[in-house]
Every structure is written in C-alpha cells, then in structure tokens.
Amino acid sequence: MFEYQYPDASGHFGRYGGSFASETLTHALTELRQAYAKYQNDPEFIAEFQSELAHFVGRPSPVYHAARMSREMGGAQIYLKREDLNHTGAHKINNVIGQAMLARRMGKPRIIAETGAGQHGVATATICARYGLECIVYMGAEDVKRQSPNVFRMKLLGATVVPVESGSRTLKDALNEAMRDWVANVDNTFYIIGTVAGPHPYPAMVRDFQKVIGEECLQQMPEFLGAERQPDAVIACVGGGSNAMGIFHPYIPFENTRLIGVEAAGEGLDSGRHSASLQRGSAGVLHGNRTFILQDDNGQITETHSISAGLDYPGVGPEHAWLQELGRAQYVGITDKEALDAFHYLCRIEGIIPALESSHAVAYAMKLAKTMRADQSILVNLSGRGDKDIGTVADLSGADYYDRPSMRGYTVKGGAAQ
C-alpha cells in the first residue's frame, strides 16, 4: 500500500497547492473551507449528492471491455470507463453538482464560472437551471467565436455568457475576469471552478467530487479481471487534471497499478506548440495555487496549443505536480495527430465517438497495450463524448475523409466474424 494523505491542513500537496489570492477573497475562501469541511462528512449532503449522480447524471457509468481494439493491438486488454455517457457528455457535471449543492447551503444565489471550450460552462449552466440559480459564465471573446454551439447551449439553459475582450481573449483572460467578479460580488456569489486548480480548498474539493469515477472502477474492474484484481495501468488525459485525479485518487494506494496522465503534446513536446505543463513547464503560481505552468523567462504565461480545447490550459492541478514528483504518477505526451488517429480508430473499431481530449488517453493506451501481455489490463478514462468535436475533426481530416478513393471500403481489421 502506498501511503498518501494530501493535502495538508493548509492545502499543500508537498510544495504545491496552497492559496494565493487577494486579501478581499480571504474571507470567502475561509467560509468555503468551513462549509466544505462541514458538509463533506454530512450524511444528508452525501445522500443528496449520490442521488443526483444516480438520477440526474446517470451513474454509475459503465466500464466497457474494448475487445476488438485490444485484439488488434495484440497486447493488454483495454477497458474504457464511460464518462462520455454522463448527462452533458463528460465528467465535468460530477464536480459541478457538488459545488452547486454547497452554494445552495451557503446561501449564495449567484454562480459564476469561466470556460475555455465551453464544456464547464455548459455543465454549470445545466446545474444552475436545475437548481434555479443565476449563472454568469466568462468566456474569452475568441473562444465565444470558436465554440458557438456551446455558447448557444448555455443560453438555452438560461446562463449569461460574458465575452472577455482583454489579453489573448481566451481562457486565461476569462479566468482573470471571473476572479475580478468574485472579488466584487463575494457576498452573494459562489465561484464554481471546473478543474482541480484554484486556491485551497478547490483542488482537493474538486478531486473529492470526481473521485466517484475511480471508486466505481474499484468495484467494476474485478467483475472483469477476477476477485480482488485491479488493472495494471490507469490512463487519463490531463488538461487541468480533474478527470485524471477522479480516476487516479482511489487507485493511489494500489502500488501495482501504474497511473499515467496524458498531456497534449500538440505539434510535438519540443515544438513550443503544446499544453504539456508537467513535462515542459516549471514551478510557478497560477489561478491561486503553486503548480507547474508554461511560462517565459519573465514569468509571463505563454500561449498554449492543442487540437482539443479542453486540454489547452497553461497550468495543471497542483496534486499532479506532486504525484509526478513523488513518482506515483507518470506523465506522457500525445500529439494532435496521434490523438486524431485514435479518435478515428475508436469510432471505427468500437462504435464510440470519443472527445478529442479523451482521444489522447486512448492513443497512449494503444501504444502501451502493444508492450504488454494479453493477460494484463489497462483502464482508460473516456472523459467525454466527441459530438462537440465533429466540426473540428471534419476541418482537420476533411469532411470527405471517408469518401476518398483511398478510404473506399475501409474497415478496421479483426471484424465481422468475431
């Protein structure tokens, strides 16, 4: 058993985490820490959270044995944790429900959030509709243009979307604007953060709301592998790191299970066009905590790139920085091209259209499986579904991809008779 008890009382994961926020937020953060400490062990809170996950989200999400894909790889068995089947199409809703439940108990009727691709904004707008809370979502003006279907979804759900015109008009500018709003309206406003980042207690709190993913897997995997057996490796993509922490955390004590986080290597880890904070970043402060970030020599946040908007974030949750330093988790990169290939492959061989984010995890699992034996197993967190990405894929691959002469009659091997 791997001994692990983090964060400490001040919200530190070793030398990462903590709370770096303006004086004006000290009171709000203390209030939030106290409320979370009170409700996280409250049987009534826990029962309501579980009921929401069961009836509104549709949990538990299944684990699926990707048998055809595994056979094709000729190595380890690959299993997919189907977070793509959740209401709103990804894991993000788990955390948003938990935070919205806290907001209600704290008497905060106004919710703010920031979003890059719009996925966290949609999840937040969804739960605000469910609970009758006011919802304001900050989004970089550039992202508002790029992600118009999600902007419309948020509006359908009753949210106000505020385009942020400052800076590069993307996620990090939206983050700053959300922080500014929180400072100005702290009395009646709850800030729902969408990943395991932010000042203490957010990284631990978001992880706790997401760890239901791994806890379900601990029950589900022995059904496939036999009594007491758990997978040899667990793989998840890492943007801010919440779906990865959600599936990793319950597995941390299981030393024989490797934990592998997949960052977006974009055009290559050494191209300067990627979002691999853990592999190519350095320690610094972003979004209220100390972690690994992509910064230049003057400490300015650098532009990031990934084919998948959800991984396009210049930082990462502090707990991942710590798990990497402890050696308990390992972080690797998958390029845009590898992710896109894995996206097409999973569509064709298993009948599942994955999110481009999740396709990074699938791509690494395909590589790793080939180096392992058929009696070994890999569990992949399929963090979301790819409906939102079909426009991007059509642009990149060509809408006529499957109509080209070279693709005519294309089927993945290992088919029909099996």
Please report how close the Cβ of residue 354 comes to ligand PLP at its closest, in angstroms.
8
The question of whether 216 is a catalytic residue gets the answer: no
Q: Is 192 in contact with 102 (CB distance < 8 Å)?
A: no
How far apart are alpha carbons 293 and 284 in whole angstroms? Answer: 6
Rounded Cα distance, 188 and 358, in Å: 36
Q: Does 169 bind ligand PLP (CB under 6 A)?
A: no
- Cα-based distances in Å from 175 to 121, 171, 183, 191, 223: 12, 6, 13, 11, 42
Q: CA-CA distance, 136 to 155, in Å (whole number)? A: 10
306 touches ligand PLP (CB under 6 A):
no
Chain residues 181-240 in contact with ligand PLP, contact rule CB under 6 A: 195, 237-240
The stretch among 9-17, 101-109, 144-152, 353-361 that binds ligand PLP (CB under 6 A) is: 353-361
- Piece in contact with ligand PLP (CB under 6 A), picked from 147-155, 241-249, 269-277, 409-417: 241-249
The reply to whether 383 belongs to the active site is yes
Stretch of 155-163, 336-344, 351-359, 365-373 contacting ligand PLP, by CB under 6 A: 351-359
* Binding test (CB under 6 A) with ligand PLP, winner from 320, 357, 362, 369: 357
- Taking the complex as a whole, the smallest distance from the CB of residue 261 to ligand PLP amounts, in Å, to 9
Least CB distance to ligand PLP at residue 358 (A): 6
Residue number with CB closer to ligand PLP (237 or 378): 237
- Cβ contact 323:248 at 8 Å: yes
Where does residue 88 fall: left (phi above 0), alpha (psi -120 to 50 degrees), or beta otherwise? left
Coil, helix or strand at residue 3: coil
Backbone Cα Rg of the chain: 20
* 261: contact with ligand PLP by CB under 6 A: no
Cβ at position 264, least distance to ligand PLP in Å: 10
- Whole-angstrom CA distances from 323 to 12, 168, 317, 378 are 12, 31, 10, 19
Q: What part of residues 21-60 is at the interface with ligand PLP (CB under 6 A)? A: none
State the minimum distance, in angstroms, from the CB of residue 242 to ligand PLP.
3
Query: Can you tell me which residue has the tokens 């994961």?
Result: 13
State yes or no: residue 386 binds ligand PLP (CB under 6 A). Answer: no
CB 8 within 8 A of CB 19: no
Known catalytic residues? 92, 114, 383
Residues that bind ligand PLP (CB under 6 A): 90, 92, 119, 195, 237-244, 310-311, 355, 357-358, 383-384
